Amino acid sequence: MNASRSGYRVFSANSTAACTELAKKITERLGAELGKAVVYQETNGETRVEIKESVRGQDVFIIQTIPRDVNTAVMELLIMAYALKTSCAKNIIGVIPYFPYSKQSKMRKRGSIVCKLLASMLARAGLTHIITMDLHQKEIQGFFSFPVDNLRASPFLLQYIQEEIPDYRNAVIVAKSPDAAKRAQSYAERLRLGLAVIHGEAQCTEQDMDDGRHSPPTVKNTTLHTGLELPLMMAKEKPPITVVGDVGGRIAIIVDDIIDDVESFVAAADILKERGAYKIFIMATHGLLSADAPRLIEESSIDEVVVTNTVPHEVQKLQCPKIKTVDISLILSEAIRRIHNGESMAYLFRNITVDD
């Protein structure tokens, strides 16, 4: 397919070679070539983008994978989108498999909802549509003033379980916290497997911190309205860690959307081993694997960590052979083709429910 003649172009907004691998796989599936553009960092740290071909009147897709340097990647995307806007592109669609700052989508004390700020910045830069995958919170779609297609990686991960895990029929799907129970239940129902939930984590969960109504701070000698006595909210006390469900003599498959700091996954694996699980797999869409994650995984009782290539993690794979990758370029390339041709996206969401 000659992309320029068919009215669309595909660009990569990354300045590092490792981050362009997904873009190359997508364009190969489309039978197209990556658009000619130069993205680089000036000696003073500023990002510069130069579009080297005409995009006037065309649909332009910007593929941006997010490396460890998140803020640089965001600036590259914003600047490229604005450069395409001023070059008279017809539509500018961002293909952002892992949407950055998605964990900062709720108010926490005196913080801010950074994800909403980023959504506004992308709109002002010129984006008219976004293709992403497994948003950390589905409500993030409401932050945007233009369409967002939130694709799912679960069909690829389910296929991996069926084809690559021997005796998966003897497995149980595990949620490492009650918050992840809906996702785990979806996997369990599709695979016709049992479900287990780990309850009583030592660390705080997101829901403990997402309500911002902790102000104003306590001040001495504060005068309250006469006769006003508000009921005191009881402090939370987490119970000892327990596993709800039988994992004895089974393969335990922990599912989640993001695996970043792996301490909680390592702790969950230890508990499952104590309860009799003989193999432990972790399945997640986005493998951020920050800090010492590869070393911790290698030294843990986890047998395998399976993530998709929404985020580049080749370096981490060299450090830890337990990390495996599932390619999701097929669904992203099909989404690009359908959006450009004005076809329905319903095919990509077959049998997908709200909990997936």
Interval 92-134: pLDDT, tens: 999 999 999 999 998 888 889 999 999 999 999 999 999 999 9
Give me the percent of the chain exceeding a pLDDT of 90: 76
Residues 6+ apart with CB under 8 A from 325: 287, 306, 307, 308, 309, 313, 317
| pLDDT bucket at 2, cuts 50 / 70 / 90 | very low
CB of 195 closer than 8 Å to CB of 184: yes
DSSP 205: P
Indicate whether 210 pLDDT > 90: no
pLDDT of residue 80: 97
pLDDT of residue 354: 76
pLDDT of residue 5: 45
pLDDT of residue 6: 58
pLDDT of residue 234: 81
pLDDT of residue 1: 44
Indicate whether 214 pLDDT > 90: no
Interval 244-274: pLDDT, tens: 999 999 999 999 999 998 999 999 999 999 9
Instruction: Note the pTM of the prediction, 2 decimals.
Output: 0.88
Average pLDDT score over the chain: 90
pLDDT of residue 15: 73
pLDDT of residue 4: 47
Per DSSP, the three-state class of 41 is strand
Interval 301-353: pLDDT, tens: 999 999 999 999 999 999 999 999 999 999 999 999 999 999 999 999 998 88
Question: Which residue type is seen at 195?
Answer: L
Mean pLDDT, rounded, for 22-29: 95
pLDDT of residue 332: 97
3-17, 199-213, 306-320: which has the minimum mean pLDDT? 199-213
Indicate whether 225 pLDDT > 70: no
Residues 6+ apart with CB under 8 A from 60: 8, 9, 10, 11, 35, 84, 89, 90, 91, 92, 93
